[in-house]
Chains A and B, each alone.
Chain A
Amino acid sequence: MDVGLMQMQRRLAEYTSALFKEGILDSQYVQLQELQDESNPDFVVEVVSLFFTDSEKLLNDLSRDLAQQNVDFRRVDAHVHQLKGSSSSIGAERVKNACIVFRNFCQEKNIPGCQRCLQQIKQEFLLVKSKLETLFKLEQQVVAAGGSIPTSGSLPTMQQPIL
């Protein structure tokens, strides 16, 4: 077992652990990992990619909705609801939480509040996107070097690198 692989796995473990500690990902992400196996080795990446595409569209829709002369709050709420749902389904905790806050402003028909929230959601989305892309890269490196990807197990404590 070469040291390089061990180091990579440690790095992967630490990186993953940090994501949970920082609340960027929650236990639902672990659920997804648990659904991945040899017959579905790319499940997580596939679902997450769907989430990215879906969310980008929703964020664009939201920007447009809020820029209207007469904001249709039902529409806005519907979009945020969708985004909240999908972020929850993949474990993107901060995005989900930002959506919840957004919906409150939506109920109040508070446009400046909504716009601030939208910015917040965008930030959180970009953050989780960037983090997950890095995570996937690290995983790819481990796999390419002959290692295997551990599931995160319980969080935020990370398992030791697999030897």
Chain B
Amino acid sequence: MARNGVASWRRRSSDQFDDPSPCGSEDVHVLAVDDSLVDRKVIEHLLKISSCKVTAVDSGIRALQFLGLDEEKAAGDFNGLKVDLIITDYCMPGMTGYELLKKIKESSALREIPVVIMSSENVLARIDRCLEEGAEDFIVKPVKLSDVKRLRDFMTRDVGDRVRSDGEGTTHKRKLQESSDVSSSSPSVSSASSSSSSSLPTTPSRSPSPSPSVSLSEPSSPSPSTGSSGPCSPSSLESPTRRLKMTSCCD
């Protein structure tokens, strides 16, 4: 979650919130959305072990129901269960994580809640699209403890605060907190110029998997639409002019 570049943070004074200090580790309530039972169990546990309260649901629809959006509840009226962070899988049948993200950002009641997207597909176009839509971060699965710890740090710092990618196409992902200090806002990410893999900060928050060469093949499989309900194919060719180089970077 990249907002370590302080300059790019939009900080809100905490007295805009009536909440007491959000830094208490028990206060962070995360809504996790994933259709995979295995993944749900893992993310739930990762969050719990990181001192978060977790509500895990298996679909975007259920997430919206939990958030009170379905019934058009008024802002702040979430049956008392304030959600500090939403972490959702991208590929889900029915409503994708992207669609859920959009719905949340379109809602005046919910748009301030930071949303993090998880995906097994390291597809640059997808990452960009999510960030442009207001996602805080994009985590490539499998999710690791270090990913969650990073999120926790973010939450502790600024619960409720949200920094948008201001359309620069900045990836907003930073690697481990210890590494880059500046938000990896390389505009080259969104430019048509080639982005070599090493300069691309989009390798989101995780070290290369032990089998990098295999995952390389993933993004290159051409599939048209994305975000459709049902099978979720990598949409690596969505913005072909910008993304052609991506196939070499995604590992």
Contacts and interface: CB of A to CB of B under 8 A. Distances in A.
Interface of A: 23, 26-28, 31-32, 34-35, 37, 40, 43, 46-47, 50-51, 54, 74-75, 77-78, 81-82, 84-86, 88-91, 93, 96-97, 100, 103-104, 107
Contacts of B120: 81, 84-85, 88
B230 A78 contact: yes
**A-B pairs with the 7 shortest C-beta distances?**
A78-B231, A86-B38, A74-B231, A26-B210, A89-B142, A77-B231, A28-B142
- Which DSSP category, helix, strand, loop or mixed, fits chain B's interface? loop
B192 to A, nearest CB: 26
Interface of B: 36-39, 41-42, 45-46, 49, 91, 93, 120, 141-145, 209-211, 214-215, 217-218, 221-223, 230-233
Contacts of A97: 211, 214
Given A26-B210, A54-B36, A86-B36, 7 more contacts: A23-B211, A54-B38, A75-B230, A78-B232, A81-B120, A88-B120, A93-B211
A88 B142 contact: yes
Contact of A40 (B38, B45, B141, B214): B45
Interface residues of A, dominant DSSP: helix
B32 to A, nearest CB: 13
A26 B209 contact: yes
Given A85-B120, A86-B36, A107-B223, A47 B230 contact: no
Contact of B232 (A26, A34, A81): A81
B178 to A, nearest CB: 18
A81 B92 CA distance: 11
Contacts of B142: 28, 31, 88-89, 91
With most chain A CB atoms within 10 A of its CB, the pick from B42, B45, B209, B214 is: B42
B141 A85 contact: yes
A100 B46 contact: no
6 contacts: A28-B209, A47-B38, A75-B231, A78-B232, A93-B210, A96-B211
Given A107-B221, A107-B223, A46 B231 contact: no
Nearest to A78: B231
A71 to B, nearest CB: 13
A81 B231 contact: yes
A38 B182 CA distance: 38
A77 B221 CA distance: 12
Contacts of A51: 38
Contacts of B222: 107
Contacts of B42: 32, 35, 47, 89-90
A40 B120 CA distance: 26
B45 A43 contact: yes
B210 A78 contact: no
Contact of B233 (A77, A85, A86): A77
